[in-house]
C-alpha cells in the first residue's frame, strides 16, 4: 500500500485510533464497521508504519481482571498521514468518533 | 468439542487460527481471544449474555477469517517459502541440469501415470451416473468350485428383497438386446430388463418424464413402457423435448417412452453402455409360460443392492448368508449347495476384474523399475552438481546453519524438481495413455474397452503421490551426503574429495544398468511369447473371412420364414463376385463359452463335456477347416433325414480312442445322432491352450434364428461389409446386422494380454536402456571434466589419444559389465515370477538373457565412447592450464 494514500474507511480507523480508541473491538464498536474490515486495516496501517502496537503488561490486565489486550497508537508518520487524509476527506472531521455516542454494549 | 456449543465464537477463533502462519499464530489468537473473552465476561456481568449478544459475538469472530486471510501474505517470509524460492532460483540458474532432471523424471512418472490411468479406467472408476456408488453391492449365487458370481432366480430375488434388513433397496436386471424401430430405421441396441426398484436403488434421475417405478413392473407384463438413455435421445431423437409419451417399436412390439435417464447413466455394466430399459415383467408377453418368474432353477437375474448407512458389507454378508441357508432348507432341490455372494461395487464382472488385477502386476513392476532408474539417474546428477555447490553448502554450515536445515533446503529443491517432473509426467502420461488405449482392441472376451480413460482426481492424486515419494527417494541420499562436507578443506579452497563421492555415483550407475537388464530380459521374453503365440496353428484360416451377426428372432421371424431367409442369403452371397463361400454358425470358433453340453456314446452313460456349434453346409469351406474323415454336411441333411454330427479330432479321440467313430451314434441334447465325419481341431477362445472338444451339427437339422455369418472372400474382407448389408437389405430392409468385423480381428483380440505385455515391456526396456545410457554418459562426462588436468599431464608425457579413450572406456565398461552381470543374476532370480505370462519360452531362456546383456553392453559402449573421445580430443596445453 502506497504511503500517503488512505481509503476513507482506513482513514476513519486511523482517525478513531488517534481519538483514543485504541484496541480492536473498541474501534469496531465506535465505527460500526465489521471486524473483518477493521482488523486487516489495522494490520495494513501497522505495516505501513502509521500505527504501532503493543501488548499491555500482564499486571495491568490482571488488575482489571481480563486477558491481556493489544493496543494500537499513532506514530509520527501516522499523524502526518491522518492530517493529509483529513485534508482530502472533509467529512472525516464531521464523523469524528468523539461526537459519536458509544453504543452501550 | 464443548466449546463449540457453549462458546462457539472461541471455537471459531481456534479453527480459523489454523490457517494463520504458525509464527504469528499465538499472538493472533491472544489478540482475538482477549477481546472476545473480555466482552463476554462484561456481558455476563451485566447479565446481558442473551442469544442476541451471543450472535453478535459470533458475527464479530467471523471477521477473524478475513484477518487470517490477510495475514497469508506474511507466509512469504516463512522458512519453507524461502527454501522454495531459493530452490527455484538454483534450478533456474542451471537450466540444462534442471531440464535433464525434469525430463528424466517425467519419463518415469509419466509411465507410471499412464499405467495407473488405464488401471483406474478399467478397475477403479465407479459406475457413472448413479448416486453414491460406494454403497452399491452386487449379489449373486456362488456355486461350489466356481469362481464367478452367478445369476440368481426371480423367486430367490423376491425372497432376498423381502427378508433383508441391511439394504435400503435390492434390485435385479437382465441384460438383453433390442431391435429398435423408430422413424423408419431399425437397429440393434443393448438394453436391460429391470425390476421396478431399479432406478430408485441406483439413485438415477430423469431429465425428461419419469423412470420405471414399481407400478410399471406389473405382474401381467401388459405395461409396455420404456426408458431411454440420454445418449440414444441425442442420437436417434435429436433431443426432442416432446419425446415422453411417443412410441417406439422394440422387437416388433410397440412401447411408450416414459422418460429419459440423466447423463451419464448408461446401465450397470461399465464398458457396455446400454440405451433402453423396460420393466422385467414384459418378459411374460414374449414368454407366457412364466417359467422365468416361477422357477428357482432358472438363473437369469443380476442382483444388486444399496447398503444402508452404517451397515458394513460384512454385516450384509452375514445376513444374506442366513437368508440363503433358510432358502436352502426350504427348497433343497434347487438351492442346495448354492451360497449367496456379495461383492462391493457395481459395474464390473468380478471374475474379469480379478484376472485383470493379476495381469496389472507385471506392467506396474515394469514402470516401478523405470521410475527407480529415473530416481537413481537424478540422484547421480544431484551428486555431480554437488561439487559445484560444495562451497555454498560449506559456507552455510560454517556460518551456523544446522545440518537439518541444509538437508531440508536440499530436499525442498529435489521435491520441486520432482513436482515439475510430475507435471511434465502428467502430460506425457496422458499421451502414453492414448498410446496404450490404441493397443487395446474394441473388446476382449465379454469386456468392451469403451470406457473413459480420462484424467480424474485419482490419477492426479496418484501422480502427486509418486512425485513426492520420488522427490524424497532421489533427494535424500545426495542431501545427506552433500550436507557432510569436510568443512576446513572446502573453506581452504582445496579440490573436492571426488573419489569418495565417485564411489557412490558408480554404485548408482551399476544398479541402474542392472535394473535395465531385468527389464530388457522381461521385454525379450514377452516379445518371444507374442511371436510364439502368433505362430500358433489355430486350425483354420482367419485371414479373408468377414463375420457379422444376424438375429432373426428379434425381428419376429417364424422358423419357416427364417429357414427361407437363411438359405436365400447364403445363395445370394455365394453368387456375389469376390465371395468364395458363405456360411452361418451359431458361434465364432473363438467360442463364447455358452454352447457347452454333455455328449454320450449311445448306450453308455459316460458323459463327455463338449462345445457345440451348429453350422450351415459350407462352414468348413468358409473357415478352411478340413474334414479329415467321412463327409461334410449336405443339402440332404435336413429336418426330414436322420440327425447327423461331425466331431472334432479331440472329441473323437476322447470318445473312441482306439476306433473310428464314423457311423457310430451319440446321444446329445436328448437325440440320437449319427457321426458322419471328423473335422480338424480348431482352437477356441484361448489360443494358448490345446483345442477343446467340438461337436458340429447341421443348421438345416437344428434351426437357430441367431447366427454369425462367415464370409470367405477373395479380396480383403473389410470391403465386403457393404455387400453383406446390401444383400441383407434386399431380403429384409428392417433387419439389422451387427458386429461386422474380419475374423482376424477376433483372433488378434484374443492375444491382447500377450500383445500388451510385449509392447509395454519393450517400451519400458528401451526407456530403461535410454536412462541407463544417460546415467553412464553423465558419470563419464563428469569424470572427464574432473580429470582434465590429469589427461593433460598424461598427453604431455606422451600418451596417445587411443590410450586416453581406452582409459575412460575401460572405466565405464567396468561399471556397465558389472551392472550387466548383476542384472543377469537378478533376472534369473526374478523372471520365474512372470512364468504364467509366458508361452513357449522358458523364463530362464539363455538366448534372451544373452541378447539383453549384449544390447546393454552395446549401448554402454556408445555412452562411454562419446565422453572418452572428448577427453582424447582435449588439447594438453589447455588442459594443463587448469593446474
Of A35, A55, A66, the CB nearest to B38: A66
pLDDT, one tens digit per residue, over B428-453 is 999 999 999 888 887 776 677 778 88
Picking from B34, B39, B66, the nearest residue to A68 by CB comes out as: B34
Tens of pLDDT, residues B718-751: 889 999 999 999 999 889 998 899 999 888 888 8
**pLDDT attached to residue A99:** 39
Q: Is A2 on the interface with B (CB under 8 A)?
A: no
Q: Is the pLDDT of residue B489 over 50?
A: yes
Note the pLDDT of residue A2: 45
Whose grid coordinates read 451359431? B586
The answer on pLDDT for B219 being more than 90 is no
Across the A:B interface, residue pairs with CB atoms under 8 Å apart total: 66
The whole-angstrom separation of Cα B865 and Cα B603 is 79
Check whether B502 has a pLDDT greater than 70. Answer: no
Min Cα separation A43/chain B (Å): 8
Give per-residue pLDDT as tens, B523-549: 999 999 999 998 888 899 998 999 999
Nearest-CA distance from B279 to chain A in Å? 58
**What's the CA gap between B432 and B449, in Å, rounded?**
16
Q: Is B64 in the A-facing interface, judged by CB distances under 8 Å?
A: yes
Quick one: pLDDT at residue B368? Answer: 94
A81 contact B CB<8A:
no
* Each residue's pLDDT expressed in tens, for chain A with a length of 105 residues: 444 567 888 888 888 888 888 888 888 888 888 888 888 888 888 888 899 988 888 888 888 888 888 888 889 988 888 888 888 887 776 665 553 444 443
Asked if B30's CB is within 8 angstroms of A25's CB, the reply is: no
Instruction: Tell me the pLDDT tens digit for each residue of B767-801.
Output: 999 999 988 998 888 888 878 888 888 888 888 88
The burial of B730, by beta-carbon neighbours within 10 Å (0-12 exposed, 13-18 middle, 19 or more buried), is given as exposed
Residue B201: pLDDT band (50, 70, 90) is very high
Candidates B295, B279, B290, B303; CA nearest to B161 is B303
Which pLDDT score, from 0 to 100, does residue B818 have? 94
The C-alpha of B777 sits at a distance from chain A's nearest C-alpha, in angstroms, of 53
- When scoring B9, B47, B67, B73 by the number of chain A Cβ atoms within 10 A, the one with the most, hence best to mutate, is B67
- The H or E element containing residue B802 is helix B801-830
On whether any CB of chain A is under 8 Å from the CB of B361, the answer is no
Contact: A28, B60; criterion CB under 8 Å: yes
pTM greater than the 0.80 cutoff: no
Q: List CB contacts of B162: < 8 A, sequence separation 6 or more.
A: none
B24, B74 contact by CB (below 8 A) = yes
- Element of type H or E holding B742: strand B737-742
How far is the alpha carbon of A88 from chain B, nearest alpha carbon, in Å? 27
| A-chain residues near B65 (CB < 8 A) | 36
Nearest to A25 by CA among B316, B410, B43: B43
Nearest C-alpha in A relative to B67: A40
**Residue from the list B37, B43, B70 with its beta carbon closest to the beta carbon of A43:** B70
Q: Is the pLDDT of residue B592 over 60?
A: no
Mean pLDDT for chain B overall? 88
pLDDT of residue B34: 85
- B37 contact residues in A (CB cutoff 8 A): 66-67
Task: Please give the average per-residue pLDDT across B349-372, as a whole number.
Answer: 90
For chain B positions 715-774, those within 8 Å of chain A (CB to CB) are none
- Whether A66 sits inside 8 A of B61 (CB atoms) is no
* Chain A 21-80, residues with CB within 8 Å of chain B CB atoms: 23-25, 28, 34-40, 43-44, 55, 61, 65-70
Residues linked to residue B202 through DSSP beta bridges, in sequence order: none
Residues 6+ apart with CB under 8 A from B539: B589, B625, B680, B681, B682, B683, B691
The angle subtended at Cα B800 by Cα B794 and Cα B801, nearest 5°, is 100
Q: Per-residue pLDDT tens for B289-347?
A: 767 788 888 889 999 999 999 999 999 999 999 999 999 999 998 888 888 999 998 98
Q: Tell which residue, B706, B128, B739, has the closest CA to residue B441.
A: B739
Q: Apex CA B632: angle with CA B630 and CA B635, to 5°?
A: 135
Q: Is the ipTM of this complex over 0.95?
A: no
Residues 6 or more apart from B744 whose CB is under 8 A from it? B542, B543, B545, B717
- Tell whether A8 lies on the interface with B, counting CB pairs under 8 A: no
Is A105 in contact with B71 (Cβ distance < 8 A)?
Answer: no
Q: What is the mean pLDDT of residues B28-51?
A: 84
B235 contacts: CB under 8 Å, gap ≥ 6: none
Q: Does residue B143 have a pLDDT over 70?
A: yes
Tens-place pLDDT, residues B92-106: 888 888 998 999 999
Residue B871 confidence (pLDDT) above 70: yes
Look at A24 and B39 and tell me if their CB atoms are within 8 Å. Answer: no
| Inter-residue contact B758 to B527 (CB < 8 Å) | yes
Give pLDDT tens digits for B157-171. Answer: 999 999 999 999 999
Name B381's Cβ contacts closer than 8 Å, sequence gap at least 6. B97, B100, B101, B104, B778
The highest-confidence range among A52-66, B63-77, B438-452, B604-618, by mean pLDDT, is B604-618
CB atoms within 10 A of CB A75: 15
- What's the gap in Å between the CA of A34 and the closest CA on chain B? 7
Judged against a pLDDT cut of 60, whether residue B266 lies above it is answered with yes
Amino acid at each position: 500500500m502506497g504511503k500517503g494514500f488512505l481509503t476513507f474507511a482506513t482513514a476513519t480507523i486511523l482517525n478513531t485510533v488517534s481519538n483514543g480508541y485504541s484496541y480492536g473491538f473498541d474501534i469496531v464498536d465506535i465505527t460500526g464497521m465489521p471486524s473483518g474490515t477493521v482488523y486487516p486495516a489495522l494490520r495494513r496501517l501497522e505495516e505501513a508504519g502509521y500505527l504501532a502496537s503493543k501488548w499491555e503488561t500482564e499486571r495491568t490486565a490482571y488488575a482489571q481482571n481480563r486477558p491481556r489486550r493489544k493496543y494500537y497508537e499513532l506514530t509520527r508518520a501516522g499523524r502526518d498521514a491522518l492530517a493529509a487524509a483529513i485534508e482530502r476527506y472533509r467529512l472525516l472531521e464531521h464523523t469524528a468518533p468523539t461526537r459519536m455516542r458509544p453504543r452501550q454494549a | 468439542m464443548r466449546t463449540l456449543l457453549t462458546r462457539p465464537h472461541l471455537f471459531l477463533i481456534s479453527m480459523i487460527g489454523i490457517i494463520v502462519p504458525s509464527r504469528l499464530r499465538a499472538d493472533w489468537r491472544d489478540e482475538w481471544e482477549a477481546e472476545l473473552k473480555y466482552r463476554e465476561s462484561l456481558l455476563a456481568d451485566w447479565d446481558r449474555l442473551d442469544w442476541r449478544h451471543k450472535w453478535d459475538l459470533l458475527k464479530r469472530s467471523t471477521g477473524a477469517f478475513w484477518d487470517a486471510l490477510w495475514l497469508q501474505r506474511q507466509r512469504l517470509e516463512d522458512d519453507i517459502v524461502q527454501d522454495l524460492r531459493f530452490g527455484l532460483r538454483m534450478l533456474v540458474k542451471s537450466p540444462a541440469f534442471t531440464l535433464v532432471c525434469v525430463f528424466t523424471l517425467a519419463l518415469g512418472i509419466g509411465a507410471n501415470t499412464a499405467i495407473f490411468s488405464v488401471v483406474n479406467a478399467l478397475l477403479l472408476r465407479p459406475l457413472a451416473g448413479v448416486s453414491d456408488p460406494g454403497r452399491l453391492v452386487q449379489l449373486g449365487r456362488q456355486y461350489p468350485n466356481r469362481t464367478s458370481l452367478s445369476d440368481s432366480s426371480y423367486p430367490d430375488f423376491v425372497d432376498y428383497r423381502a427378508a433383508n434388513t441391511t439394504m435400503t433397496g435390492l434390485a435385479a436386471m437382465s441384460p438383453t438386446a433390442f431391435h429398435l424401430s423408430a422413424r423408419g430405421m431399425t437397429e440393434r441396441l443393448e438394453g436391460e430388463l429391470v425390476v421396478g426398484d431399479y432406478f430408485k436403488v441406483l439413485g438415477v434421475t430423469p431429465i425428461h418424464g419419469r423412470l420405471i417405478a414399481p407400478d410399471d413392473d406389473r405382474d401381467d407384463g401388459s405395461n409396455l413402457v420404456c426408458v431411454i438413455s440420454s445418449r440414444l435421445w441425442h442420437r436417434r431423437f435429436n433431443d426432442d423435448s416432446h419425446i415422453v409419451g411417443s412410441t417406439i417399436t422394440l422387437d416388433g412390439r410397440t412401447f411408450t417412452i416414459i422418460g429419459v435417464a440423466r447423463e451419464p447413466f448408461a446401465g450397470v455394466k461399465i464398458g457396455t453402455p446400454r440405451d433402453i430399459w423396460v420393466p422385467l415383467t414384459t418378459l411374460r408377453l414374449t414368454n407366457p409360460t412364466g417359467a422365468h418368474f416361477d422357477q428357482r432353477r432358472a438363473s437369469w437375474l443380476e442382483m444388486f443392492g444399496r447398503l444402508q448407512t452404517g451397515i458394513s458389507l460384512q454385516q450384509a454378508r452375514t445376513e444374506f448368508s442366513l437368508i440363503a441357508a433358510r432358502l436352502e432348507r426350504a427348497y433343497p432341490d434347487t438351492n442346495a449347495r448354492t451360497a449367496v455372494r456379495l461383492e462391493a461395487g457395481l459395474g464390473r464382472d468380478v471374475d474379469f476384474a480379478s484376472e485383470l488385477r493379476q495381469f496389472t502386476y507385471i506392467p506396474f513392476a515394469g514402470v516401478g523399475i523405470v521410475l527407480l532408474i529415473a530416481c537413481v539417474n537424478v540422484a547421480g546428477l544431484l551428486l555431480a552438481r554437488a561439487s559445484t555447490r560444495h562451497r555454498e553448502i560449506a559456507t552455510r554450515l560454517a556460518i551456523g546453519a544446522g545440518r537439518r536445515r541444509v538437508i531440508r533446503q536440499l530436499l525442498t529443491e529435489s521435491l520441486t524438481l520432482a513436482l515439475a517432473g510430475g507435471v511434465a509426467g502428467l502430460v506425457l502420461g496422458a499421451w502414453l495413455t492414448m498410446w496404450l488405449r490404441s493397443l487395446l482392441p474394441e473388446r476382449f472376451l465379454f469386456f468392451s474397452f469403451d470406457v473413459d480413460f480420462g484424467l480424474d482426481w485419482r490419477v492426479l492424486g496418484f501422480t502427486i503421490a509418486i512425485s513426492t515419494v520420488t522427490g524424497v527417494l532421489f533427494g535424500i541420499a545426495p542431501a545427506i551426503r552433500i550436507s557432510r562436507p569436510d568443512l576446513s578443506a572446502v573453506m581452504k579452497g582445496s579440490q573436492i574429495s571426488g573419489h569418495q563421492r565417485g564411489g557412490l555415483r558408480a554404485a548408482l550407475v551399476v544398479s541402474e544398468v542392472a535394473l535395465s537388464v531385468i527389464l530388457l530380459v522381461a521385454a525379450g521374453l514377452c516379445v518371444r511369447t507374442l511371436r510364439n503365440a502368433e505362430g500358433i496353428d489355430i486350425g483354420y484360416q482367419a485371414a479373408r473371412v468377414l463375420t457379422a451377426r444376424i438375429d432373426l428372432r428379434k425381428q419376429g421371424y417364424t422358423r419357416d420364414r427364417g429357414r427361407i431367409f437363411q438359405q436365400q442369403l447364403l445363395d445370394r452371397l455365394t453368387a456375389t463376385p469376390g465371395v468364395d463361400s458363405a456360411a452361418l454358425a451359431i458361434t465364432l470358433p473363438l467360442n463364447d463359452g455358452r454352447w457347452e453340453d454333455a455328449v454320450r456314446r449311445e448306450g453308455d452313460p459316460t458323459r463327455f463335456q463338449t462345445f457345440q456349434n451348429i453350422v450351415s453346409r459350407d462352414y468348413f469351406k468358409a473357415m478352411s477347416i478340413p474334414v479329415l474323415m467321412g463327409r461334410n454336411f449336405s443339402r440332404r441333411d435336413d429336418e426330414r433325414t436322420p440327425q447327423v454330427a461331425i466331431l472334432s479330432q479331440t472329441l473323437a479321440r476322447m470318445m473312441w480312442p482306439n476306433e473310428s467313430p464314423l457311423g457310430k451314434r451319440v446321444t446329445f441334447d436328448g437325440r440320437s445322432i449319427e457321426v458322419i465325419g471328423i473335422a480338424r481341431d480348431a482352437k477356441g477362445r484361448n489360443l494358448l491352450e490345446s483345442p477343446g472338444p467340438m461337436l458340429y451339427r447341421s443348421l438345416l437339422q437344428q434351426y437357430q434364428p441367431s447366427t454369425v455369418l462367415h464370409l470367405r472372400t477373395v479380396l480383403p474382407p473389410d470391403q465386403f461389409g457393404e455387400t453383406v448389408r446390401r444383400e441383407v437389405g434386399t431380403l429384409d430392409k428392417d433387419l439389422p446386422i451387427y458386429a461386422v468385423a474380419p475374423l482376424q480381428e477376433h483372433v488378434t483380440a484374443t492375444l491382447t494380454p500377450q500383445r500388451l505385455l510385449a509392447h509395454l515391456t519393450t517400451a519400458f526396456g528401451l526407456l530403461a536402456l535410454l536412462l541407463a545410457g544417460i546415467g553412464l554418459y553423465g558419470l563419464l562426462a563428469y569424470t572427464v571434466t574432473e580429470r582434465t588436468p590429469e589427461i593433460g599431464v598424461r598427453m604431455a608425457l606422451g600418451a596417445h589419444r587411443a590410450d586416453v579413450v581406452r582409459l575412460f572406456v575401460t572405466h565405464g565398461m567396468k561399471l556397465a559389465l558389472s551392472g550387466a552381470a548383476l542384472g543377469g543374476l537378478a533376472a534369473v532370480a526374478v523372471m520365474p515370477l512372470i512364468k504364467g505370462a509366458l508361452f513357449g519360452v522358458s523364463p530362464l531362456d539363455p538366448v534372451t538373457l544373452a541378447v539383453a546383456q549384449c544390447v546393454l553392453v552395446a549401448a554402454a559402449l556408445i555412452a562411454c565412447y562419446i565422453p572418452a573421445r572428448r577427453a582424447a580430443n582435449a588439447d594438453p596445453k589447455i588442459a594443463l592450464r587448469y593446474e
